[in-house]
Amino acid sequence: MILVKSGREIESMRKAGRIAALALIEGGKLARPGVTTKQIDDAIRRLIQRHGASPSFLGYRGYPASCNTSVNEEVIHGIPSRRRVLQEGDIVSIDVGACFEGFHGDTAATFAVGTVSEKARRLIGVARECFFRGAARAVSGARVSEISAAIQDYAQSNGCDVVRDWTGHGVGRSLHEDPEVPNFSDGKRGSRLLPGMTLAIEPMIAAGRGKTEVLRDNWTVVTADGSLAAHYEHTVLVMAGEPELLTLTEGSV
């Protein structure tokens, strides 16, 4: 069931979204050589809690950390670890959720660690632009399929592929709500968008093929061909006109 948020609920989501945005910025500052992904996770958890919120991911379906840190060929759900030290030339996707007043803000971005290859830098840019191409279609009266098609078209026109096994989603009181928001066109029109709907639009883009596998930890999703992957996400409020990005704030990438 697709939930349309009231004015009061949207205000709570704005607060949750801002906290999530600040946490992502904090994590991004630590994306440099020699830093462990656990250090990033610890910093994000502290910031979220300092703002009176709770990490959406911690304990969710048994997940053991406050954020996802997915490095290089890892697409999503990478588990932070003291043993995973970021290296010069890596790229790391950081995915953050914050719950405040019972509502979730969900956001992600991919960061360059030191100096990265032109291929990696370009992939990060494609993933980011895919999001904004898709989000521009998130207006009242449009269909979810219009978001999906815009993402897929931009990715593939730039020599990249979209991940099909994992999708964006509605978000609100629950971290994952209806509707699904695929990053590809499946030939279906999808749900019609109404003012007050809140969506986590999150292109997951591969430099090679978009087919994925899940590692033995039962969380980490990687590209099957080992190609680099990038991830970009915001929580989006559907409006009659231009959508509002609830997890975009000053300093966001």
Average pLDDT, the chain: 97
Q: What is the pLDDT of residue 112?
A: 98
With residue 157 as reference, give the H or E element that holds it: helix 144-157
pLDDT band for position 176 (cuts 50, 70, 90): very high
pLDDT in tens, 29-78: 999 999 999 999 999 999 999 999 999 999 999 999 999 999 999 999 99
Dihedral angle sign, alpha carbons of residues 76, 213, 121, 168? negative
Query: Does residue 235 form part of some domain?
Result: yes
Instruction: Indicate the residue type of 193.
Output: L
CB 48, CB 58: distance < 8 Å: no
Residue 178 in tokens = 């209806």
3-state secondary structure of 97: strand
Whether 115 shows a pLDDT value over 90: the answer reads: yes
Domain total of the chain: 1
Least confident of 26-40, 46-60, 175-189, 215-229: 175-189
pLDDT in tens, 204-216: 999 999 999 999 9
Three-state SS for 100-142 is ECCEEEEEEEEEECCCCCHHHHHHHHHHHHHHHHHHCCCECCC
> Which region, left, alpha or beta, applies to residue 94 given φ > 0 means left and ψ of -120 to 50 means alpha?
beta
Whether 190 shows a pLDDT value over 90: the answer reads: no
> Domain range spanning residue 93?
7-245
Distances in Å between the Cα of 247 and the Cα atoms of 25, 110, 187 are: 11, 15, 30
pLDDT in tens, 233-243: 999 999 999 99
Query: Does residue 17 form part of some domain?
Result: yes
Q: What is the pLDDT of residue 186?
A: 83
Q: What is the pLDDT of residue 7?
A: 98
Tell me if the pTM is above 0.85: yes
Distances in Å between the Cα of 7 and the Cα atoms of 14, 16, 84, 103, 126 are: 11, 14, 42, 13, 34
Residue 153 in tokens = 């078209």
Query: Does residue 250 form part of some domain?
Result: no
> Looking at residues 127-149, what average pLDDT do you find?
98
| CATH code assigned at 149 | 3.90.230.10
